[in-house]
Structure 1
Amino acid sequence: MFVEAWAASCRGETPAATPCFDRSVIKLPDGEALARSVLRKYTPNLPVSKTSAADDAEAFLFFFADFRERLDPPVDARYFGTCLTGCFVALPARDLLHGDGALAAAASAIQEEIRRMADDPLALWDFFSLNSRAA
């Protein structure tokens, strides 16, 4: 479908069918229970590069976010390409290793980075700005 839609767009035509990426149209019975059972089974076996860190060390998380709708003006909904930007979170390891607030600390830092990305979606496109934040 992608190739046909791309070709139609190149010809200036409207694609015959609009693709649907809505995962909710597939109803998986007991999908939540299945996901939890898979996590319980495989998570303990995941490789761990380091099981502990010094309290003064930093923990890093890098993830991508789609920012099409956050640009001004927003990218047209029919755009087939990707519009991803990097999101970078750094936290003191002590915030993630001690106490019941570890998950809340991680979620809060991720939420703050998403807000930053929403305010300035192109900020991390410059590799050196990312590099300076990691240093």
Structure 2
Amino acid sequence: MKTILVLLILLSATAMPAGAALTEADLNKIRLIVKEEIKEELKPIKAEIGSIETNIDTLKSDIGTLKEGVARLDGRMDGVEKQVAHATNLTYGLIALIVAAIGIPTWLGKKDRDQERKIEELRQEIETLKQQKIVGSP
């Protein structure tokens, strides 16, 4: 048992220096390895970012083109609105003209018929008065 104990102490004593701290060279190697690993991992990410930036530029260009198209359509719509307003005003004018062309003669005709009826009533009254005078006179 003593031999095992001595052997364990001896093995422990030789294993102690193996747990020593890393040297500066070891740390630099580790840093270099980590740096290279990060670079490799970032390459696809950077490529994806570049692709996204290209897509954004394309979208900005498309949006600019759409804005120009909308501005042109807006101008055309203003022209169409003016034409519709003009046509509406013209229609109102024509309706007023038609109403005047039909309404005035109708109104005058009604007035003439009323006058004719009054004249006829007055004629009948005159005839009645003439007959009364003829019948009533000796």
TM-score, with length taken from structure 1 = 0.17
Q: Please identify the structure whose Cα radius of gyration is greater.
A: 2
Indicate the structure with greater helix content. 2
Indicate the structure with greater strand content. 1
**Larger relative contact order (C-alpha < 8 A, sep ≥ 6)?**
1
